[in-house]
Chains A and B, each alone.
Chain A
Amino acid sequence: MTRFPLGLIVLIVVSLLIFFGMAQRALDRMRLTDKGALAVIVALIVGSFINIPIPGMRVPLEINVGGALIPVALAVYLLAKAGTGKEVTRALISAALTGVVIYFISTRMMSGLGEPSGGALGFIDPLYVFPIIAAVIAYVAGRSRRSAFIGATLGIILWDAANYFYMLQNNATNALKSIGGAGAFDVIVISGILAVLIADLIGETRERLQGGPSSEGKPDALLAGLRKPEFDKKDRKKSLADKERPDGLDQEEVDRLEN
């Protein structure tokens, strides 16, 4: 490998490590175990190299496994595992809203620009604008980082769908619409991860300053959602070790939170 100087190789390795480290940290909060999150990252990387062409389309269309299918599958998994119907509705509303806002901003406020870019929001790259929008909408709609992930992922898929319709309308048969084609580095994945981290930051700061999550009057299903899968395992182990209090912690903790 004499092609790149050492500095550049180190640069690439360091940025990859940091990116995937961040991704692991974010996915960790998506109802996945630590190892599950790692597995998703491996799937993202491997899936980046697989494009599935959709046959019979007037404008050629292909969908990337790592960049689109896996994030969407994760979003659907989160929706299926959501605590209440309200949580699902809120996540879906925030996804639709994210899609509309992103479309509006990218085609109206960031279009018709000078070179190389500009416009009303031209001072920041869309790569970073999209996740900020998704995170803020999801936080306002559902106070949830999972909903931030769902909102960002599905919202950007909607934005892509709108772009595909634009291509169909203009009969751009020389185009090839790729959804999620940049794989692990696609705007879909990056937005999903950044949106989780941003929503996390907003939420944690507020909750910590307030002294813990407010759980009064919240359904048990949602409170259970505050827990990591690993904690359940831990609890089971604890209750085995401590026979005097069989699965007592769970109830106690909810009681305490409600006080």
Chain B
Amino acid sequence: MKTKQFHIIVGLCCILMGLGIIGRLSFAERTLPAWNPASILAGEEVDHSVGKCINIVDETGNMISQACRGVATGDEIINAEGKHYRVVKVDKDKAIVKSLGVDKRLLAWNEFYTDERLAMAAAAPKKGAVGVYHTHSAEAYVPTDGTESIPFKGGIYDVGQAFVERLKEKSGGEIIYDKTPHDPHDNAAYQRSRRTATKIMQQNPIAMIDVHRDGIPDPNYYSAKVADMDVSMLRLVVGRQNPHMQANLDFARRMMSYSNKVHPKIVKEIFMAKGNYNQDLMPTALLIEAGTHTNTKQQAENGVALFADAVPVVLGIEGGPATQAPGQGTGGGATGDGGSGGWKAVGWILGLTLLLGGGYILISTGSLKGLSDLGKEFTNYLGPLKKIGTKKSATKTKDQPEKTAGNADRAVIDQRDDVTED
């Protein structure tokens, strides 16, 4: 019995370790908001959906970024210059980041997209669809729409339409635009939009983009003049509670790198936030924030249209009449290089599965024997092995009555173990 308890404790330790690693990576040391049951009952939080802002600064107080509520320790930012930061502390309306230096992968992609020879060597354009949808379908732009939220038909649809039209023009391929609303505007909306995303996936797209707008109050944070147009810049969001995160992040890096090469500064930064955002469905899923609610809708439409110029090249599906310029071959989508984020994600998934799964099996079967039994369970599907196994156990039971009563007891205990395994 003692060894059993030891096994269970080892199993628990494995699981705790796995959870610890996940926690450290995703939501460690978060400063939780003060618990206020009254505000939950009153539904007051809904009013705060926009306008409440957290300034993200470095140790010396320089502004790095802004975000509306929900910044957590461990969130990371890679800005357009490739500077990489991690949030180390969150106060009430201020988050402090520490610099992690320069993101080498982004610089590598910058290099890749600048090197015309590499771009030209890439394969011929391929066909492929891109899926576009809105999880928060109520999002609207105050200066144009008059309010920040219009249930079921927010201004975000116009921005999505502008994005889709430009994408169609540039890519020649099919764009799947699903306009299903997923109201109300809450975090569970992602569980509803998951159904839409899966429906898009059944049409076999090569990438999926969820178009949002941000909720920070300062319009100047996103406003810019790019390609002689008033635009709102974009922020790409990658969910950290997502087993495909490394692959999604690499996809976001490619997007930011190439978009900023075509239209400098159009993508402001990549923000790695807690959450999943249905990015576990596809390694090439992306969430974009087209400006914030205090920008005009026109700015946002201009911004996403410029971003759409870059998407087909990164995906290797360009082919529209407007993109015949020489030297702009297909991008990383066609090269093996793009898979490194994928391999990294595979490593993480396998490592964590071994740790969590091993701990789980230790607890659920109560012994190391359980691990080998599991193997047997799988081989049972293969047929002949099962017969050998049952023959063996049949002969065993035949022998048993001739042995001592102690052995019979042992058999009963074994049987009980079998039962508790269920």
Interface stretch (choices A69-77, A82-90, A164-172) = A164-172
Interface residues in A84-131 by Cβ distance below 8 A to B read 106-128, 130
A185-B244 Cα distance, complex, nearest whole Å: 14
Q: How close is B280's CB to chain A, nearest CB, in angstroms?
A: 8
Residues of A contacting B41 in the complex (Cβ-Cβ under 8 angstroms): 108
A124-B345 Cα distance, complex, nearest whole Å: 20
Q: How close is A93's CB to chain B, nearest CB, in angstroms?
A: 23
Say whether B70 contacts A117, CB under 8 Å: yes
Known: A107-B186, A122-B70, A181-B199. A209 touches B8 (CB 8 A): yes
Query: Does B283 interact with chain A (Cβ within 8 Å)?
Result: yes
Known: A5-B342, A118-B70, A249-B415. A167 touches B48 (CB 8 A): no
Residues of A contacting B128 in the complex (Cβ-Cβ under 8 angstroms): 3
Residues of B contacting A186 in the complex (Cβ-Cβ under 8 angstroms): 194-195, 198
A120-B188 Cα distance, complex, nearest whole Å: 13
A210-B416 Cα distance, complex, nearest whole Å: 14
Say whether B275 contacts A125, CB under 8 Å: yes
Interface residues in B175-200 by Cβ distance below 8 A to A read 179-181, 183-188, 190-192, 194-199
Interface residues in A28-53 by Cβ distance below 8 A to B read 29, 34, 38, 48-49
Query: Does A176 interact with chain B (Cβ within 8 Å)?
Result: yes
Say whether A242 contacts B398, CB under 8 Å: yes
Say whether A34 contacts B191, CB under 8 Å: no
Known: A7-B341, A113-B187, A118-B69. A178 touches B334 (CB 8 A): no
Say whether A110 contacts B186, CB under 8 Å: yes
Say whether B398 contacts A113, CB under 8 Å: no
Interface stretch (choices B164-172, B261-269, B359-367) = B359-367
Say whether A170 contacts B377, CB under 8 Å: no
Q: Which residue among B8, B195, B196 has the maximum number of chain A CB atoms within 10 Å of its CB? A: B195
Query: Does A241 interact with chain B (Cβ within 8 Å)?
Result: yes
Query: Does B335 interact with chain A (Cβ within 8 Å)?
Result: yes
Residues of B contacting A118 in the complex (Cβ-Cβ under 8 angstroms): 68-70, 187
Residue of B nearest to A107 (CB): B186
Q: How close is A111's CB to chain B, nearest CB, in angstroms?
A: 3
Q: Give per-residue flags for B192-215: 1 if the beta carbon is below 8 A from chain A beta carbons, else 0.
A: 101111110010001000001111
A74-B237 Cα distance, complex, nearest whole Å: 37
Known: A3-B128, A116-B275, A186-B195. A14 touches B215 (CB 8 A): no
- Which residue in A4, A15, A127, A242 is a CB contact (below 8 Å) of B401? A242
Say whether A238 contacts B377, CB under 8 Å: no
- Which residue in A116, A163, A185, A205 is a CB contact (below 8 Å) of B194? A185
Interface stretch (choices B302-310, B318-326, B346-354) = B346-354
Say whether A116 contacts B350, CB under 8 Å: no
Interface stretch (choices A133-141, A147-155, A225-233) = A225-233
Q: How close is B74's CB to chain A, nearest CB, in angstroms?
A: 10
Q: How close is B57's CB to chain A, nearest CB, in angstroms?
A: 18
Say whether A213 contacts B49, CB under 8 Å: no
A226-B39 Cα distance, complex, nearest whole Å: 44
How many residue pairs bridge A and B at CB < 8 Å? 295
Query: Does B228 interact with chain A (Cβ within 8 Å)?
Result: no
Residues of A contacting B136 in the complex (Cβ-Cβ under 8 angstroms): 115
Residue of B nearest to A212 (CB): B420
Query: Does B382 interact with chain A (Cβ within 8 Å)?
Result: no
A252-B381 Cα distance, complex, nearest whole Å: 31
Interface residues in B61-102 by Cβ distance below 8 A to A read 67-70, 72
Say whether A8 contacts B247, CB under 8 Å: yes
Query: Does B125 interact with chain A (Cβ within 8 Å)?
Result: no
Q: Which residue among A7, A176, A182, A238 has the maximum number of chain B CB atoms within 10 Å of its CB? A: A7
Query: Does A54 interact with chain B (Cβ within 8 Å)?
Result: no
Say whether A208 contacts B196, CB under 8 Å: no
Query: Does B4 interact with chain A (Cβ within 8 Å)?
Result: yes
Say whether A166 contacts B1, CB under 8 Å: no
A125-B193 Cα distance, complex, nearest whole Å: 14
Q: How close is B335's CB to chain A, nearest CB, in angstroms?
A: 7
Q: How close is B213's CB to chain A, nearest CB, in angstroms?
A: 7
Residues of B contacting A107 in the complex (Cβ-Cβ under 8 angstroms): 184, 186, 188
Residues of A contacting B345 in the complex (Cβ-Cβ under 8 angstroms): 11
Residues of A contacting B338 in the complex (Cβ-Cβ under 8 angstroms): 5, 7-8
A208-B190 Cα distance, complex, nearest whole Å: 38
Known: A109-B40, A115-B213. A14 touches B346 (CB 8 A): yes
Query: Does A10 interact with chain B (Cβ within 8 Å)?
Result: yes
Chain A residues within CB distance 8 Å of chain B = 2-12, 14-15, 18, 29, 34, 38, 48-49, 64, 67, 106-128, 130, 159, 163, 166-167, 170, 172, 174-176, 178, 180-183, 185-187, 197, 200-201, 204-205, 207-209, 211-213, 226-228, 231, 237-238, 241-242, 244-245, 249, 252-253, 256-257
Instruction: Return the 9 tightest CB-CB contacts between A and B, nearest first.
Output: A118-B70, A7-B339, A181-B195, A5-B339, A7-B342, A114-B68, A111-B186, A112-B46, A106-B188
Q: A117-B275, A127-B191, A175-B181 are in contact. List 11 more A-B contacts (CB 8 A).
A: A5-B336, A8-B247, A10-B342, A111-B45, A116-B277, A117-B273, A118-B187, A125-B241, A126-B191, A170-B183, A178-B192
